[in-house]
């Protein structure tokens, strides 16, 4: 009895050490560094006038609503914060400026298309995937509707069609993958923007442009490109004249969101080593415990494992 109890406790101890050490081991080479330079959009919020034409273009492109363009001139929608929904892939919010009431800041929100997307890491059937060009796309055919992607997204982007009983989808910005696949094609919102607010291009070039702009006008811009390092980097990048937290941007560190879970997952289940070890150990315990009671011998599982 004592022997076995001690063994069991030893095993638990080993498990505890294993659990902790895997949890604190830094992740293997960041997958972000190996990711090809995709496309992105630089959003210069200092240029945005809150015309919401990007919302109109997006809704028309994806057949989300058929409101006429004039209806987007209604500024009363800015009274309360609006957020992304199953029928709104992008929304513009107005943030009052405490220093100059006449100059509020408008911020366009949509999926940021992370370089190492938490939603894609979470999805157990690979319905969400990051494409070569940087777009994080969704394949409704694979989706089970578990909504773990929505739990995982640090920016709270994916929305769900809860009202659809049979074929509900996870809904979010597609980065207009079908448009940009064509030569010179732009995302609908970028094409529609009347200001110099949205710039589409290679992410590396956009980053260079962003830092150029900051260097060219350090009084105007915050010295921070949101999305350069947040969550390991995002395809959509932002410039602002005020601290990003004041504009309701999430304060997200540079570590890619999936690192911890993927590190735990891959260190514990690498080659199935830990489960097989546990299997062998339990097999051995079983044989010893049985022998200890002088019962008839039976094959234990160890042989099967090796």
Partner 1 sequence: MAAEISYAPVQRRFFTPGVYVLLALVLTAMALAVYRFIFGLESVTNLTNQYPWGLWIGVDVATGVALAAGGFTTSALAHIFHRKRFEAVVRPALLTAMLGYTFVGLGLMLDLGRYYNIWHPAWPTMWQGNSVLFEVGMCVMAYLTVLYSEFAPIACERFIGRVNLPGRLASWNGIVDRVLRSVNGTLGRVMVLLIIAGVVLSCMHQSSLGALMLIAPYKMHALWYTPILPLLFLMSAIAVGYPMVVFESMLASRSFGRKPEMDVLTPLSAFIPIFLGIYMVTKIADLLMRDAYPLLFEGSFQSFMFLLEMGGGVILPFAMLLSSRMRRSSRMLFSASMLVVLGVLINRVNVFIVAYRPPHTQSAYIPSVAEVLITAGLIATLMLVYRVMVTLFPILPKEHPAHLPGDN
Beta strands at 236-239 and 39-44: parallel, antiparallel or unpaired: parallel
Work out the burial of residue 113: count CB atoms within 10 Å of its CB; fewer than 13 is exposed, 13-18 middle, 19 or more buried: buried
For the bound state, the minimum distance from the C-beta of residue 16 to partner 1, rounded and expressed in Å, comes to 6
Closer Cβ to partner 1, 4 or 217, answer by number: 4
Q: How is residue 283 written in tokens? A: 């097999």
- Specify the length of the chain in residues: 306
Closer Cβ to partner 1, 12 or 67, answer by number: 12
For the bound state, the minimum distance from the C-beta of residue 230 to partner 1, rounded and expressed in Å, comes to 11
For the bound state, the minimum distance from the C-beta of residue 17 to partner 1, rounded and expressed in Å, comes to 10
- Output b/e per residue, 149-187; b: 16+ Cβ within 10 A: bbebbbbebbbbbeeeeeebbbbbbbbbeebbeeeeebb
For the bound state, the minimum distance from the C-beta of residue 94 to partner 1, rounded and expressed in Å, comes to 15
For the bound state, the minimum distance from the C-beta of residue 114 to partner 1, rounded and expressed in Å, comes to 12
Closer Cβ to partner 1, 71 or 248, answer by number: 248
Closer Cβ to partner 1, 183 or 303, answer by number: 303
Closer Cβ to partner 1, 70 or 303, answer by number: 303
* Cα–Cα separations (whole angstroms), residue 102 to 73, 77, 95, 290: 18, 17, 11, 82
Whether 86 and 159 have beta carbons less than 8 Å apart is answered as yes
């Amino acid at each position: 009895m004592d022997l076995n109890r001690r063994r069991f406790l030893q095993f638990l101890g080993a498990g505890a050490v294993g659990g902790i050490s895997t949890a604190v081991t830094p992740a293997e080479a960041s997958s972000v560094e190996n990711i090809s330079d995709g496309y992105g959009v630089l959003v210069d919020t200092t240029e945005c006038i809150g015309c919401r034409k990007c919302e109109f273009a997006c809704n028309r492109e994806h057949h989300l609503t058929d409101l006429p363009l004039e209806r987007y001139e209604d500024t009363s929608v800015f009274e309360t914060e609006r957020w992304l929904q199953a029928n709104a892939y992008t929304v513009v919010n107005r943030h009052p400026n405490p220093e100059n009431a006449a100059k509020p800041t408008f911020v366009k929100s949509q999926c940021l298309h992370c370089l190492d997307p938490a939603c894609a890491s979470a999805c157990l059937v690979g319905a969400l995937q990051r494409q070569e060009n940087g777009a994080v796309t969704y394949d409704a055919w694979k989706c089970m509707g578990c909504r773990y992607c929505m739990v995982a997204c640090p920016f709270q982007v994916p929305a769900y069609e809860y009202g659809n009983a049979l074929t509900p989808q996870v809904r979010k910005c597609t980065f207009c993958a079908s448009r940009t696949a064509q030569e010179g094609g732009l995302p609908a919102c970028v094409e529609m923007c009347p200001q110099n607010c949205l710039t589409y291009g290679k992410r590396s070039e956009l980053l260079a442009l962003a830092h150029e702009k900051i260097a060219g006008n350090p009084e105007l811009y915050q010295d921070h490109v949101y999305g350069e390092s947040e969550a390991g980097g995002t395809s959509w990048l932002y410039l602002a004249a005020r601290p990003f937290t004041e504009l309701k941007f999430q304060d997200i560190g540079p570590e890619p969101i999936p690192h911890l879970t993927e590190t735990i997952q891959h260190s514990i289940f690498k080659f199935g080593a830990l489960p097989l070890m546990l299997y062998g150990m339990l097999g051995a315990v079983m044989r010893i415990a049985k022998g200890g009671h002088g019962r008839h011998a039976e094959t234990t599982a160890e042989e099967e494992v090796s």
